[in-house]
Structure 1
Amino acid sequence: MKTPEKIDAREIRHKLGLNQQQFWSKLGVTQSGGSRYESGRNMPRPVQQLLRLVHVEQIDIAKVRKEDFEVVEFLKASNPDLFKDLKKQARAYRKAA
């Protein structure tokens, strides 16, 4: 079984220049809860994944909808070549912006 990578929330927060309130509120975590995670308390896997999506991948989770995932999964399954091509184009578009 794959062991989850250790996420250093404090380091990520410092690199982003955010205080605890700003950083943790984007994940729906209280400042005090985030402080405990930064002090070494075990961070639940869902919180780790949200942290990665929001602060590392820079995804605005307020804009993510279930329908979007359904379309992506359908496209992956029904036309994987088109999915790969669109993914490549999206990365290029993001880099150019």
Structure 2
Amino acid sequence: MSNVKMIEKIEPREIRRKLGLNQQQFWSKIGVTQSGGSRYESGRNMPKPVRELLRLVHVEQIDINRVKREDIDVVEYLKVEDPTLFKTLKKNAKAKLRKAA
């Protein structure tokens, strides 16, 4: 099951509570007001961009303040120009993360 599917099934309130954050702390990290976040936690449909930011920041634990457009550009370039190297680097990075955990 992909992380995106997982987010669609897990309530944002559940994710927030597991992280031990209040609504202000949780939602402000992805640019959503506390009142807006409260509405999402109460069942209002969450737009895909908000859902993806929630996944990146709170599930994948990515510091989006550190990601730069040029980083994305390099990844996209590598995928197209040398897919074998990209796959090797991706595999090695995953293995290193598993080993560190």
Same fold (TM over 0.5): yes
Unaligned residue ranges in structure 2 (runs of 5+): none
The letter for the 2-side match of 1:38 is: E
The CA RMSD measured in Å over matched residues stands at 1.4
Q: Which residue of 2 aligns with 1:95?
A: 98
Equivalenced residue count is 94
The letter for the 2-side match of 1:16 is: L
Runs of 4+ deviating beyond 3 Å: none
Give the share of equivalent positions with the same residue, in percent: 70
The letter for the 1-side match of 2:94 is: R
In the alignment, is residue 36 of structure 1 matched against residue 48 of structure 2? Answer: no
Shift of 1:88: 1.2
Residue 51 of structure 1: which of 35, 50, 54 is its match? 54
User: How far apart, in 2, do the equivalents of 1:22 and 1:92 lie?
Assistant: 32
Shift of 1:21: 0.9
TM score, norm. by length of structure 1: 0.89
User: How far apart, in 2, do the equivalents of 1:32 and 1:75 lie?
Assistant: 41
TM score, norm. by length of structure 2: 0.86
Q: Which residue of 1 aligns with 2:20?
A: 17
Shift of 1:74: 0.6
Unaligned residue ranges in structure 1 (runs of 5+): none
Shift of 1:14: 1.1
